[in-house]
Structure 1
Amino acid sequence: MGTHFGLGVVILAVLATALTEPDVKVICAKDSVRVIWRVGPQFVPHAARFFLGSCMPSKWTLLPTGEGEARFNYKFSDCRFTKQIKGKHIMYHNELSFRPQGRPKPAVFKHPIKCVYKRSDDWVPKFLNPGSGVSSGQSKLVFHMALLNEQLTGVAKSNVIPLGSFMPIWAAVEQKAHQPLLMLMDECVAATTPELHPDAQVYPIIGNNGCLLDSKRGSSMFLPRYHTSAIILYLQSFKFGLNGEVYIHCNLVVWDSNVLDGQRKACHVKEHGSWELLDDPSRSSLCNCCDSVCTPRTRRSSEQAHLGTSFNSVLGPIIIRDEAGSSL
């Protein structure tokens, strides 16, 4: 029996080695994927042991060369695909695997499959006015701020965030009968207390009248707007307040979308390393002051009273966990 067991291990090792450079073709469609996996003759007897996620091949073909071809044609709602929204992109993840032995024996080979799509600029979350989160009225305006789930489809069900992952923070104002308003995050800091006081230790996130300072240190950004009255801060979690309670304090401001300047703006650092204006990249020169001091402007007399209305909002507690830490 020991000899038979040893031979089985050798066979598995040989099969795994033969798959180190797989011949895989991936065709991503609108809501589905087609994967073609060509394998050598030695794998033909194991045709039923190839998988895409939890799915077996839709079709298996024995080629004239003696090779085998496994074809997978499935929707992203099948086979346990995972969906991830990151910045301007939507990604679907899965993996091909070869399991010569049944579960719970592990796969001897895995190969990642990913389809990436650019998120349309007019994509709108399924919610506009969530039933939870922070909200309050001022000057006949109602402000909201909430932590969203990873899919940006609703308010997050958990306030525990792994270190390095992203926290989508949504802020909005209910417009009611007002002219179209622009929601801006004028200033945001993280603190370990729900109230700010002179001696409070804070981590600056947004400052200098709308400059996303944290985008210079990592991958934080503002996501493309789905409406002028809302903004989503895609904030990468940090070590500040690690494993304790963290509160995000923001000064929210409503403004006229046609009157952006150095004082009223939303700026972040993009991939090319320079500051960019969220609402009109062609006017990114308004962000030039983000590395120095953005001076206030004089409000025009024709501007209506509700323009410039601000509201201090607090979101939390949020727990940032270092899941790789030895103390956890």
Structure 2
Amino acid sequence: MVTQFYLGVLIWAVYTTTVANADIKVVCAKDSVMITWRISAEMVPHAARLFLGSCMPSHLNVMTTGEGEAQFNYQFAECKFKKLIKGKRLIYQNELTYRPHAKTKPAAFVYPIECIYKRPEAWVPQFLNPGSGVSDGRGGLIFHMALLNEQLTGVAKTNLVPLGSFMPIWAAVEQKSHQPLLLLMEECVAAPTRELQHGSQVYPIIDNKGCLLESMRGNSVFLPRYHSSAIILYLQSFKFPLGEEVYIHCKLVAWDPEVLDESKKACHYVKENGRWELLDDPFQSSLCSCCDSTCKSRSKRGVEWESHGQSHNSVLGPLIIVEPSDSRVAQSKVMKTEGPVTDDVGFLPD
């Protein structure tokens, strides 16, 4: 049975189930979780082998029947909780486990724990940090671009990407004293080199003034924004080329969020509907209809903004795409990093 109470931006959840003679109740508080796990008399002597992530029970009550209640009262910052951002939801995940045997053997019992909240309106990821080393200034603006980890909670620690998995590519522009800005990816291509020249081998990802071509070929998509000045391209990895260095070249555009047209947009193809959809306002998806032909600017203001340097190009890489089972990639090609995989060059060749 699942019961949910909505208190402001918080979702409190109580889960009750019976698995392996164990009743589990979970209450998600503001920044912590309270779990009561009723265990059988046979499990009581082994209560030290019950875990919430990496944490043991914070308290154990033994009943007159011989059964017990193991309690876990912990903050989300403890016990190795995973924090995920999915659209307008903030999710904390972990697992309850019973490990009667050595760590080399799998757990005898696993139960997922999940607390879901409405994402705060003003939430900004911690990695949006001017001192993180991912920024570059142009026209009074500071642009950022980085490869994120799978949980979308920080910069990726490796550039090795299994084929078919997703590469969350995050870009943002710092507004500072500027009016609110909308960040767009006008063009992105993959290439085997850090620098592009006329005639370079490229694989188009975004083209035609903001049309995500990879959303038609695969499952790539633009994720819902947490702020107009940032965008996340959830790019499914592709065969280009396997086992070799790949660089993602993107042209970023800082734009007026109130002025969208066919040349200033972010569109992805929704296969379920069989049509292109505008990320920032699906009701204006008619702006994406040109993605099947040629998109041209209809705004005079576009020329003014472009002339004042509101566009910027970044290069993300090197990335290395491999078969999921491929263990032959040389370690020299795998880069462990505390910062982003990023660099900046001039504009993409026409």
* Map 1:245-260 → 2, pairs under 5 A: 245-260=245-260
Label 1:281 to 1:123 Cα distance change in 2 as closer, same or farther (>3 A): farther
Whole-Å Cα distance in 2 between the matches of residues 119 and 321 of structure 1? Answer: 34
**Equivalent residue, structure 2, for 1:4:** none
Q: Which amino acid aligns with 1:314?
A: V
Structure 2 unaligned residues grouped into runs of 5+:
1-17, 330-350
1:326 offset after TM fit, Å? 5.2
* Map 1:1-328 → 2, pairs under 5 A: 20=20, 22-63=22-63, 67-101=67-101, 107-126=107-126, 127-133=128-134, 135-137=136-138, 139=139, 141-149=141-149, 155-175=155-175, 178-197=178-197, 199-216=199-216, 217-226=218-227, 228-269=228-269, 273=273, 274-290=275-291, 292-300=292-300, 305-307=304-306, 309-325=310-326, 327-328=328-329
CA contact (8 A) 1:223 1:234 kept: no
Label 1:167 to 1:26 Cα distance change in 2 as closer, same or farther (>3 A): same
Whole-Å Cα distance in 1 between the matches of residues 77 and 257 of structure 2? Answer: 39
Label 1:191 to 1:121 Cα distance change in 2 as closer, same or farther (>3 A): farther
Whole-Å Cα distance in 2 between the matches of residues 314 and 176 of structure 1? Answer: 23
Quick check: which has more Rg, 1 or 2? 1
Q: TM-score, normalised by structure 2?
A: 0.73
1:224 offset after TM fit, Å? 0.7
Q: Percent identity?
A: 57
Q: 1:95-151: per-residue Cα shift (whole Å, max 9, x none)?
A: 2222334656653333332333343343112335344236353x5555443334556
Label 1:75 to 1:158 Cα distance change in 2 as closer, same or farther (>3 A): same
CA contact (8 A) 1:133 1:155 kept: no
Label 1:116 to 1:169 Cα distance change in 2 as closer, same or farther (>3 A): same
1:87 offset after TM fit, Å? 4.7
Paired residue secondary structure (1:117) = strand
Paired residue secondary structure (2:115) = strand
1:245 offset after TM fit, Å? 0.9
Label 1:305 to 1:123 Cα distance change in 2 as closer, same or farther (>3 A): same
Whole-Å Cα distance in 1 between the matches of residues 105 and 143 of structure 2? Answer: 53
Structure 1 unaligned residues grouped into runs of 5+:
1-17
CA contact (8 A) 1:147 1:155 kept: yes
Whole-Å Cα distance in 2 between the matches of residues 30 and 201 of structure 1? Answer: 51
CA contact (8 A) 1:84 1:91 kept: yes
CA contact (8 A) 1:174 1:229 kept: yes
Label 1:93 to 1:174 Cα distance change in 2 as closer, same or farther (>3 A): closer
Label 1:39 to 1:145 Cα distance change in 2 as closer, same or farther (>3 A): closer
Which one is further off, 19-28 or 70-79?
19-28
